[in-house]
Structure 1
Amino acid sequence: MKLVTILLSILVMALARPLVSMADSDSLRTLTMKEAISMALENNHHLKASSHNARSSSYSTDIATSRYYPNLFFEESFGISNSPTQTFMMKLDQGRFSQNDFQIHNLNHPGSWRNFKTALTLTQSLYDPSISPSRAMARQEALKAEAGYEGAQQDLAFQVFVLYLDSVRAAAQLKAIEQALADATENVRLARVREREGVGLKSDLLRAETHRAMVEQHLITARNSITLIRLRMALAVGAGEGSLVEVAEPGRSMTPTCAIEELFRVALQERRDLRQSQADKDRGDAALRLARNAYLPTLDAFGSYQFNSREYPFGSDNDAWMTGVSLKWQIFDGFRRCSERKRVLAGRSAAEEELIAKTDEIKLQIRESCLRRDEAAKQRDVARQALASAEETVRLLGKRYENSLATMLDLLDAQTALNQSRSKLVDAEADYAFSGGRVFHASGMFLKEIMK
């Protein structure tokens, strides 16, 4: 039976080895918190996509602004016809019209005629009430995309911070499980000694060995969790699929002061999602101006200079120019503009409500993060006290078991409670650190604070 137990223990430990061999075989890159965040901001593909979207939106403003500038067109065309009106105009444009062309037969049945036309045309908008609001709408879209990119930077930095806390939590869990394994191994030794001396039960030894096997299973999972967190960190910082990255130094301590009103003021200035909601509202204002300006006329200037030739392109049998202005005013469109104005007005009202809702939501997030911060501090203190009590309980029951004053079941129950207390303290420490970062993230200052 002892031989079987020893072989089982060796097999379990052998299964645990491959989980960490991956970390040994691959290059493990160790970074500080600032280095990890800087690397993520430079290499993360999701952030790059957000940057390209912001850049794409910025060009919409330039496109809308271009409508203020003149348009210049060059044209070279060729035509041939025996239509009386077309032939008449071609000859006039080429300066080839003669007295013989006025004969009735020649007017009604002209021969075929060809024309090469070379023209340079200029158009300039003098008054177009749709340009300014269209440009304002494009500008707000660009601001929204830019705010989205900056918000993605904040979220990515916070993601790296959370992954760091996960790695700290996993490492502490691993250390606690390794300590639990050492304690379980000692319990097996004590049970075996007592059984050998005839003062212990075989069932106590089996319970102790079963308990140790359970701890070894948890050890396998803990080591695997560390490897997975390192893989996720590598993905976040853009180190490449399959790479392993860990943050060894946390950087600046996240210890905010929960002054609610000050955090409100900062959040209203720094939260990028709030800026996006404000941009939607401002875009609605511009869209409403555009809908109202649709009732106004447009005024354009135009001019052209052209050459006409019968024999070859770019020739100049005759030249001509023309210039003028054009006023267009749509009087009736089947109530389309009226419906459009109502639609835009409803959308603008929706954007205003969304802005109010987002502001209230951000204030709630700040209040919640501060409450969670206080809660995490208290939970951490309680977890520390619980761990001290659990350690003392195990120490006392260990002495009692050695003196046959307690059963193995009592000792294992106390050991299980100690393992849980260690795990809860690890979670409490990580939750406390997370709650501090959450306050800064809720107020929109996380990236600025963590990179100080």
Structure 2
Amino acid sequence: MNNKAVLRIACLLWAVAVPAFGETVSLKEAVQRALANNHLLKAAALEEGAAREGVAGSKSRYLPRVSLESGALLSTTPSSVFMMKLDEGRINPASDFAAGKLNNPDPRGDFRTLVRLDQPLIDFNVATGVKLAEKDAETAQAALRQAREQVAFRVYLAYLEVRRARAFREIADQALADAREHLRLAQVRERDGVGLKSDQLRAATEVSEAEQALVTAQNEVQLARLRLNLVLGGPEGEALDIGGVPQLSDPDQRQDLAALALKSRPDLAVAEQAVQKGELAVRQAKNAYLPTVYASASYQVNDRDLPLGYDHDSWNVGVNLRWDIFDGTRRSHEKGRAELSRQAAAEVLEDRRREVGLQVTEARLRRQEAAARLVSARGALQAAQEGVRLVTLRFAGGLSSMVELMDAEATLNRSRANLVEVENAELRSAAQLYHASGVLVTEVLR
């Protein structure tokens, strides 16, 4: 069995083994599906939900705290034994105040049940803690927006990758058809006595190479479609096809993208939240110098024999003020650390702002570069097509060799592939500019 037969069998097996390509989706549909089903986005949404729960948990510190305690104690310690009897209401003045019983009591047990309520009245850190939790929630929300932008950009790139793979497969199809035509011409020329056997062998080699390239191109199409489905969060193993060339509004008509980026970029919002959290941390460190006031109340039941039993009960209500006057220098160092961390966050924010401005400028320049390269690539393709046409005529007239014809065809195929790459780069440059401005999702879903 020769190599040509092996390749044809491989192509047939590939066609049977590869699953159906599945449905076709437009760019807008693809982004909408990804925003609903992408697993990384779901994780970011869950993180935001967790941050919201943190806010609710912080606010709950305003509410009273109620606890239930139940315990048992067995002791011969004089003070403990006396207090057990007192709490149970079992003090007998006639016998319990005797020196022997007071100093050397018999072992005694007690079951105590206590319900306690604590209520903050003045605690400035509670309010600061709530605001910090709210900033965490806002940061998580900005992170979710950032994840949406990143997923939309990944969808766009995956969409372009399918377009590229399909175009390369078409180029491989055309290259195989051209190679077979060259082989036919070489066989005709040899049969007519005007060609060389080496030309026929060289053409046969070209056909084999083109068949191999086509198998690779077909696999690349299938893999690109599977990757598109993966980014969209579709069922495992499905492949999606694209519904045409992705179209976005021309960003060259927008002169406000740099200013828009400063307002819209989610990563800038995250950096801004870090600065605000730093300010709150400084406030929290200052609050450590202030007093706290808490109210408390408790109800206690004691029993000598039974858990949760009732021999005697008691209650108390009180207010407690705590003011740490001196704790070494811990609070001053905590305040200094918080202030330095806030300044560091501010420096990071300023760097991010400058970086965003540079990214928008770079994306705009890359787009201009892509447009210029596109004009050049189209001109190169036209020149290569004309070159192949002329060499083909010369070859048919016996004025050019098979090697010259194949070199011209190779140049044409490179020009076709280069045009596909440049067209993809031009399409990608629009998405990159909107992505750098933080509004890609808005533009795609417009």
Same fold (TM over 0.5): yes
Q: Summarize the alignment of residues 214-225 of structure 1 with structure 2, pairs less than 5 Å apart.
A: 214-225=209-220
Aligned-partner Cα distance in 1 for 2:8–2:424: 28
Aligned-partner Cα distance in 1 for 2:297–2:291: 20
Q: Secondary structure at the match of 1:159?
A: helix
Q: Deviations over 1:19-76 (max 9, x none)?
A: 34333x3462332323322222222222222222222222222222222211112223
Q: What is aligned with 1:412?
A: 406
Amino acid corresponding to residue 272 of structure 1 in structure 2: P
Q: Residue 21 of structure 2 contacts residue 225 of structure 2 at CA under 8 Å; is this kept in 1? A: no
Amino acid corresponding to residue 220 of structure 2 in structure 1: S
Q: What is aligned with 1:234?
A: 229
Q: Residue 31 of structure 2 contacts residue 444 of structure 2 at CA under 8 Å; is this kept in 1? A: no
Percent of aligned pairs with the same amino acid: 39
Task: Tell me which stretches of 4 or more aligned residues in structure 1 moved more than 6 Å.
Answer: none
Amino acid corresponding to residue 105 of structure 1 in structure 2: G
Q: What is aligned with 1:70?
A: 64
Q: What is aligned with 2:258?
A: 264
Q: Residue 154 of structure 1 contacts residue 441 of structure 1 at CA under 8 Å; is this kept in 2? A: yes
Q: Secondary structure at the match of 1:132?
A: helix
Per the TM alignment, residue 250 of structure 1 is displaced from its structure 2 partner at its CA by 5.0
Q: What is aligned with 1:338?
A: 332
Q: Residue 20 of structure 1 contacts residue 224 of structure 1 at CA under 8 Å; is this kept in 2? A: no
Count of aligned positions: 445
Q: What is aligned with 2:159?
A: 164
Q: Secondary structure at the match of 1:244?
A: coil
Q: Deviations over 1:295-315 (max 9, x none)?
A: 222221111122333343444
* Cα distance change on mapping 1:198 and 1:251 into 2, 3 Å: closer
Q: What is aligned with 1:274?
A: 268
C-alpha RMSD over aligned residues: 2.1
Q: What is aligned with 1:323?
A: 317
Per the TM alignment, residue 420 of structure 1 is displaced from its structure 2 partner at its CA by 0.9
Amino acid corresponding to residue 85 of structure 2 in structure 1: K
Q: Residue 20 of structure 1 contacts residue 223 of structure 1 at CA under 8 Å; is this kept in 2? A: no
Q: What is aligned with 2:426?
A: 432
Q: What is aligned with 2:113?
A: 118
Aligned-partner Cα distance in 2 for 1:191–1:26: 38
Q: Residue 124 of structure 1 contacts residue 302 of structure 1 at CA under 8 Å; is this kept in 2? A: yes
Q: Secondary structure at the match of 1:253?
A: coil
Per the TM alignment, residue 434 of structure 1 is displaced from its structure 2 partner at its CA by 0.9
Per the TM alignment, residue 319 of structure 1 is displaced from its structure 2 partner at its CA by 2.7
Residue 243 in structure 1 maps to residue 208 in structure 2: no
5+ residue gaps, structure 2, are none
Q: Summarize the alignment of residues 14-413 of structure 1 with structure 2, pairs less than 5 Å apart.
A: 14-23=9-18, 25-26=19-20, 28-100=22-94, 101-249=96-244, 252-260=247-255, 262-413=256-407
Aligned-partner Cα distance in 2 for 1:250–1:275: 33
Q: Secondary structure at the match of 1:406?
A: coil
* Cα distance change on mapping 1:47 and 1:171 into 2, 3 Å: same
* Cα distance change on mapping 1:349 and 1:443 into 2, 3 Å: same
Q: Residue 251 of structure 1 contacts residue 450 of structure 1 at CA under 8 Å; is this kept in 2? A: no
Per the TM alignment, residue 168 of structure 1 is displaced from its structure 2 partner at its CA by 0.6
Per the TM alignment, residue 418 of structure 1 is displaced from its structure 2 partner at its CA by 0.8
Aligned-partner Cα distance in 2 for 1:431–1:296: 60
TM-score by length of 1: 0.92
